[in-house]
Amino acid sequence: MKIKQLLLAAAAVGALAGLAGCSEEKPEQTRIALVVKSLGNGFFDAAHQGAREAASQIGGVEIIYTGPTTPSAEGQIEIVNALISQKVDAIVISANDPDALVPIAKKAMSRGIKVISFDSAIGPGGRQMQLNPSNAMLIGEKQIQMAAAEMNGKGELAILSASSQATNQNLWIGVMKQTLQRPEYAGIKLVATVYGDDQSDKSYREAIGLLRSHPNLKAIIAPTTVGIVAASKAVADENLVGKVFVTGLGLPSEMAGHVKSGAVREFAIWNPIDLGYAATFAAHEFVTGKAGAGAGAHVSVGRLGSVTLDANGEAALGPPFTYNAGNVEKFAKLF
């Protein structure tokens, strides 16, 4: 009986040793969390597609795609706190508020988690780097150029933004206002800036309010993928197609019908697939120690080359791209 017990004990030790060996042989995955402004947003779904592409290319990377159901800093703070508890390796986040997220992001970094913000920045103290989809000056100028073309250089213009705290929206609107001061835009008057909080129903109500409060309105700029769809629908519902034009930043898949209806002639957006891909690749570079956070540092973004950090730890991926009746259907099949 004693011999039998010894044999069983030896077998158990052998089995445990075998399991330990298996555990050592299996490479541990790098877990990168992609935290978006809100779930159900087509732009961020496309960014998720790019993140998965980067993970597949790198190998050994697991993407955790998450975000609040409605865009709020509070919702993102709760999610980041949970991710800290899960001990993820990196957090890639598009911030709903630049300042409110800094403390929780600092907590994550103090635990060894790399934090990269993309699209909409966290304040400099709360991340290793910020990956801007484009240059703020180019984005703001582009939207004024498109609106001015629709308005023939004169008339009333309004802006329908996301939340009043959105970092990127406010930056672009600031550039738009500066651009309107140029002599070539002297005939254009900005009559209102309203906020739809990146919610379809609220954005639609705000757009309807603009159309009814400003009967001479000629164009609405919506620098948000949710807002531009809502504004386009409002123009159609108010029977103002051909009188009021909508432009801004939108997804081809969501805008193709509005371009066809005539509510929108052209709009712009960077490629969110590339943005999600680049941000994820950059996060992995920081996790593996291949990237530094100092000014002038070069960070690889895989198939897209590399980006260079400025004094604020920010880098731009590329210029926005124009979509119109000639190309929107083609790109609508992609995102």
Q: pLDDT below 50 — which residues of the chain? A: 1-26
Entry pTM: 0.75
Q: What is the pLDDT of residue 243?
A: 97
> Under a CB-based contact definition with an 8 Å cutoff, are residues 51 and 82 in contact?
no
Q: Cα-flanking dihedrals φ and ψ of residue 2, to 5°?
A: -65, -40
In the numeric block, which tokens belong to residue 1?
Answer: 């009986």
Could you report the per-residue pLDDT of 168-209, keeping only the tens digit for each?
Answer: 899 999 999 999 999 999 999 999 999 999 999 999 999 999
Q: Is 111 exposed, middle or buried (0-12, 13-18, 19+ CB in 10 A)?
A: exposed
| Architecture, CATH, for domain 136-269 | 3-Layer(aba) Sandwich (3.40)
Give yes or no on whether 30-133+272-317 and 136-269 have one common fold.
Answer: yes
Instruction: Say which DSSP state 277 is in.
Output: H
Q: What is the pLDDT of residue 237?
A: 98
Give pLDDT, residue 22. 42
Domain segments of the chain as ranges: 30-133+272-317, 136-269
User: Are 67 and 36 contacting, i.e. CB atoms less than 8 angstroms apart?
Assistant: yes
Class of domain 30-133+272-317: alpha beta
Q: What angle do CA 290, 124, 41 make, to 5 degrees?
A: 85
